[in-house]
A and B are shown apart, each in its own frame.
Chain A
Amino acid sequence: MSQPENAARDKGRQRLTRGRDAGRSRIDVSYLLRGTRKNVVGLLGALIALYIVFGIKAPNFLTVSNQLSIALNTSFLAIPAWAMTLVIGCAEIDMSTGPAVAFAGVFLGLLVTNYGIPLLFGIIIVLAVGTLLGAAIGWARAYLNVPTFVGSLALYLGLRSLAELFSNAIPISISSSFLGNVGTGSVLGFPNPAWIAIVLFFVFLVVARKTPFGRSLLAIGGNPDSARVAGVPVGRRKIAVMAISGAAAALTGIILAGQLASGNSEVEQVLTFQVIAAVIIGGTALFGGRASMLGTLIGVVFIETITDGLILLGVNTYADGFVTGLLIFAAVTIGTGELRLRRKARGGRGRRVRQGRPAVASPASDAFAGPESSAIAGGLARVIPESGSQEGRV
C-alpha cells in the first residue's frame, strides 16, 4: 500500500469523522475522492496541462460553446465507456462497441422509417437486441468458453456488415422531434446527451461500488477461482456485464441517431478503441480486478479534449489519430512507469505501513463502542476502497 494512497484514505476518514452524516447519506460526494488513485490524479494533471496548452494556443478553446461541444462529443464516448469499465474490471472485453453503435442507429432507422414501427417500440426493440447480442457473447464466454475478445470481434465484423447491408451504406433518415430533441436539445444550457451520460455515470458509480453485483464483478476479475469457490455466480455475472455493454452501445446509437436525425452505418467505427483507451488510461487494470469509474470519466474527457483542441489548432484532421495515439501511449507509459517505481520502493514502505498499523489493529472491538466512534468511521472509509486497490490483479 503506498503512502499517497494511505494519505488519500486518511483524508477520506477525516472527512467522514468530521461530517458524520456524510457517511450515511446515499449520495456521498466524499467517496468520489476517497482512495483516489495516484494515476487518476496524474491523469487529471495531464488534462489540466492540455487545457492550459490549448487555452493559450487555440483562441476559441476556452469559450463556453466549445466546452459544451466537448461535453456533447464526450457523451457518445462516455456511455459505452462506463459499461466497458465494468467489462474490463471483470477481466473481459467488448470489441463490438463501435459497430454496435452504428448498427443500433441503422436498425432504428430501418424499423421506424422503412417499416413504420412507432418510435418508442423501435427504441425498445433496438435496446433489447443490443442487450441480447451482448448477453450472447457473455453466454458463449461463460458456457462455451469462447473468449469475449473473439466473440465480440466476430460481432464487430458482423454488425459492421449488417449496418451497411441494412442501409446500403446510405444514412436512413429518422424524422422524430422527440428523438431529435434527445440528441440535439439541451436542458439548462447543457446538451441532453451529456446529461444522460452524467446521470448514467452516477448509476454506474453506485453499481460498481455499492452493489454486490459490482463488487463481485471485480472479485471475478481479480480471482475467478476464488470467486467460484466463494459462491459468486461467475457465469451469470459475465453474461450480465456483457449485456450491459451491449445495451450501452445500443443506447449510444439511438442518441446519436437523434443527433444526426438518421441511422448511419459509417459513424463511430473507431469508437471501440477509443473506449478501451479511455478505460485503460483511467486506471482500470487491463486484466481485471481493478476498476475506476472516476478514472474512466477523466479518460473520456481527456481523449475528446485532445480531438477538440487539435481541430481548433488547425492540425490536419488526418494527423488527429496520430497525435491522439501518441498522447494515449504517453499517458499509459507514465502510469506504468509510476507503478514500477512504486514497486521498487515497496520494501521500505511495507515496514512503514506495519508501524502505522497498531492504531487499526483492533477496530473490531472498537466497532462495538457504537457507530459514532471514529474507529468505525475509519473502518467505513476503508471498507470499500476505490474499486479494488494497489496490487491490482494478482
Chain B
Amino acid sequence: MQLGAAAFGGDAASGSVALSCRGLSKSFPGVRALSDATLEIAEGEVRALVGSNGAGKSTLIKIIMGVNQRDGGELSLWGEPVLVDSVKEARSRGVAAVYQELSLVPSMTVAENIAIGRWGEFERFRWIVDTRRMRAHARDALETLGVDINVDAEAGELTMAQQQLVEIARALALKARLLVLDEPTSSLDAHEVPALFAAIAGLREQGHTILYISHRMVELRQVADNVTIMRDGYTLGTYPIDTVSGEEVAALMLGHAASESLPERREVGRTWSGSATATRSQHSDREVILEVRDVSLPPRVVDVSLEVCRGEVVGLAGLMGSGRSEVLRCIAGLLPAASGDVLLEGRSVRSKGARARLAAGIAFTSEDRRREGIFAAMSVAENLAMSSWHKVTSHRLVSRLKVVKMAAELMTRLGIKAGPGQDVGQLSGGNQQKVVLGRVLATEARLLLLDEPTRGVDVQSKEELYNLMREIANEGRGVLFVSSELRELEICDRTYIVREGKVVGHLDKSEFTTERVTALAMEGGS
C-alpha cells in the first residue's frame, strides 16, 4: 500500500493519473474472476478495455464502481489510495458508469431523469421540486456533453443514441470525472454512433477520463487513445491503439496465437455478400433446407443471404448488437423483413407469420430464455408440449398419458434432469434450455434457429447441447446456431460472420480458427 501510494503519488500530484489499479484480484465462490488487473489511466485519456467473455472486465468495473469489493491489490483514484466499498462512495469520488442496459424512466422528461433520486437538491419550500432549477441543471449537464436535447422531452421518445447521451449527462451531473462506458454502442444503430463519439471527444477535451469497453475495433480506433487487453482475469498489457492490428488484439484476447502464426485472412466479405451461389455449388450434392435471399431490415439487417443444408450445423457469429439475433428473427418471422425472401425447402415463406412458419417447420428459440422461452410456473411436461398440443390429445382433450410419454421420451433424449411435473422455473439454466429445445424438437421442425442456446449454461450442459445440435443435424434437420462466444462455433460445419447487420465472412470448418472469427466479427471485411 505504502509503496503503491508512493509510486503513484508523484504522478497524482501533477494530476496526470486518474485511475490506477495494481494487482487487483477477486474471487467468487468457485471462480477466480480477477487474478491480476494492473492498469493506469492518465487524466483526460480515453482507454479502451477489451477481452472475451469471462476475461474479468465486468468484475474490474464492478470493483472500481464499488459494487464488489476486491480481495487484494491496490486501487487509487487521482493518486489517492482508496477502498471503494459502495457505489455511493465511488460516486462521491467522481466515478460513474453507464451500463449497456439503459436505465432511463421512459415516461419521465429528460430533466427529471437527470435529477432522478436527487430531488432534494432542487427543493423549494421544503416539499416542492423547483422545476426551473431542475431543468437548468439538466441543460448544464447536456451542454457539458455538447449535445442538444430538449430537457422537456420524454425519455421514451428519444432515440437510443439520445438516451445513451442522457445517461452520460446524468453521470456528468453527478460531477463524475472518470466515466466508465460499458459497450455504449451495442444498442445503437450505425448512424447514431458519431454523435456519441463526438460527445466523448468533447469530454476528453474538457479533461474527463473515460474507460471504454467495447469489442468493435473500428470504433475503438476512432475513439480511444490506448487499449488494454484482458484475458482470464489478467491484464495482458496496454498498447497505443494505432500500433496494434485487429488480429493482434484478437490473438492476445484469445491467448493461443503467440506461437501460431495467423494464416492470411481470406477476403470473403466482399465476394460473399449478396450471393449464395458459391456455397450452393459447393454443396450441390446436399439438400438445401433454408435459403435466405437478401433479407433486409435496415438498419439492423442488411442484405443477408445464407443457406443451411440438411444435416448441417451452421454457425452465425457476431458480437453483441451485430444484428445476428435480428437475422434469426427475420427468418423465424418474428420480425418483418423489409425485403428479401426466405425459402424453406425451396418454398417461399415470406408471406407467412411466425406461427405459420413454426407449423411449416422453422422453429426458433430465443436468447432470452426467461422472457421468451420457458413458462416458469408450468411443469416440464407442459412446457415440452406447448408447441405441439395436437400430438398429445385424444378427442380434443389433453391426454395425460400421451403428455407424459412424450415428455419422457424428450427428457431421456435431452438428458433433462428433473421430474416431468416439476416447475421449469426451478430448474438450472442448462435444464431450462434443454426444455426449450425439447419443445421445438417436439414440433418436428426441420430447421432449428437457436439464438445463444448456451448462454448462462454450465460447462457440462454446454457440451451436451453441442452434442445435441450435432445429433439433431444428423437426423436430417438443419441447425442455425447463433453465439457471441465465438470460440464455441468451432463445432459448426460452416460459420457466417455478421457485423453491423451484414454477412461479412464465411468460414468452412477447415478454415475456422477462433482468431479469424473474432477478427472478422470485430473488423469484418473492412
User: In the complex, what's the smallest C-beta–C-beta distance from B301 to chain A, in angstroms?
Assistant: 19
Total interface residues on B, using CB and 8 Å?
Answer: 51
Contact of B400 among A222, A380, A394 (CB under 8 A): A380
Number of residues on chain A facing chain B (CB within 8 A)? 53
Task: Write out the residue numbers on chain B whose beta carbons fall within 8 Å of the beta carbon of A24.
Answer: 401
A383 touches B421 (CB 8 A): yes
Bound complex: CA of A357 vs CA of B418, how far in Å? 8
Q: Pick out which of these stretches binds chain B: A190-198, A228-236, A243-251, A264-272.
A: A228-236
Q: A211, B376: Cβ atoms under 8 Å?
A: no
User: Contact between A379 and B420 (Cβ–Cβ < 8 Å)?
Assistant: yes
CA distance A212 to B358 in the complex (A): 17
Check if A384 is an interface residue, CB within 8 A of chain B.
Answer: yes
Tell me, in angstroms, the Cα distance from A363 to B422 when the chains sit together.
12
Docked-complex contact B379 and A385, CB < 8 angstroms: yes
How many Å lie between the Cα of A361 and that of B381 in the bound state?
14
Q: A231-B354, A379-B408 are in contact. List 20 more A-B contacts (CB 8 A).
A: A1-B426, A211-B396, A211-B397, A215-B382, A216-B389, A219-B378, A229-B334, A229-B373, A230-B439, A233-B355, A363-B420, A364-B407, A364-B412, A379-B419, A380-B401, A383-B403, A383-B421, A384-B379, A384-B381, A384-B398
**What are 7 inter-chain pairs, A to B, with CB distance below 8 A?**
A215-B382, A225-B372, A353-B426, A363-B408, A364-B412, A379-B407, A382-B379
Q: A43-51, A328-336, A365-373: which one contacts chain B?
A: A365-373
A1 to B426, CA, bound (A): 9
Stretch at the interface among B40-48, B210-218, B306-314, B363-371: B363-371
Q: Which of B354, B385, B416, B419 has the most CB of A within 10 A?
A: B419
Given the contacts A225-B372, A231-B354, A363-B420, A290 and B381 also touching, CB distance less than 8 Å: no
Considering the chains assembled together, what is the distance between the CA atoms of A139 and B423 in angstroms? 32
The reply to whether B396 and A380 contact each other, CB–CB distance below 8 Å, is: no
Residues 333-363 of chain B, each 1 if its beta carbon lies under 8 Å from chain A, else 0: 0100000000000000000001100110000
Binary A-proximity of B256-287 (CB < 8 A = 1, otherwise 0): 00000000000000000000000000000000
A383 near B379 with CB under 8 A, answer yes
A305 to B15, CA, bound (A): 79
A363 contacts across to B, CB distance below 8 A: 408, 411, 419-420
Nearest CB to that of B358 among chain A residues? A231
Chain B CB within 8 A of A391 CB: yes
- Cross-chain contact A371 with B401 (CB below 8 angstroms): yes
Given contacts A212-B389, A394-B425, contact A206 B397 (CB under 8 A): yes
CB-CB under 8 A from A225, the residues of chain B are 371-372
> A216–B378 Cα gap in the complex (Å)?
11
From B370, B382, B411, B419, A357 is in contact (CB under 8 Å) with: B419
Task: For chain A, residues 82 to 125, give those with C-beta under 8 angstroms from any C-beta of chain B.
Answer: none
Per CB-CB distance, the 10 closest pairs between chain A and chain B, nearest first, are A382-B421, A212-B389, A360-B419, A367-B408, A364-B411, A231-B358, A364-B408, A364-B412, A383-B381, A394-B376
Q: Is B375 an interface residue (CB 8 A)?
A: yes
Q: Specify which chain A residues have a CB less than 8 angstroms from the CB of B421 in the assembled complex.
A: 9, 360, 378-379, 381-383, 385
When C-beta atoms are compared, the residue in chain A nearest to B439 turns out to be A230
Chain B residues with CB under 8 Å of A233's CB are 355
Interface residue ranges, B against A (CB under 8 Å): 334, 354-355, 358-359, 364-366, 370-379, 381-382, 385-387, 389-390, 393, 396-398, 400-401, 403-405, 407-409, 411-412, 416-423, 425-426, 439, 443
Minimum CB distance partner of A234 in chain B: B355
Chain B residues within an 8 Å CB radius of A218: 378
Q: Report the bound CA distance from A16 to B391 in whole Å.
A: 24
> How far is the CB of A231 from the nearest CB of chain B, in Å?
4
Residues of B within 8 A of A392 (CB): 377
Q: Are A226 and B374 in contact (CB under 8 A)?
A: yes
Is A364 within 8 A of B387, CB to CB? no
Query: How far apart are B476's CB and chain A's nearest CB, in angstroms?
Result: 22
For B401, the chain A residues whose CB sits under 8 A away are: 23-24, 371, 376, 380
Task: Quote the shortest CB–CB distance from A142 to chain B (angstroms).
Answer: 13
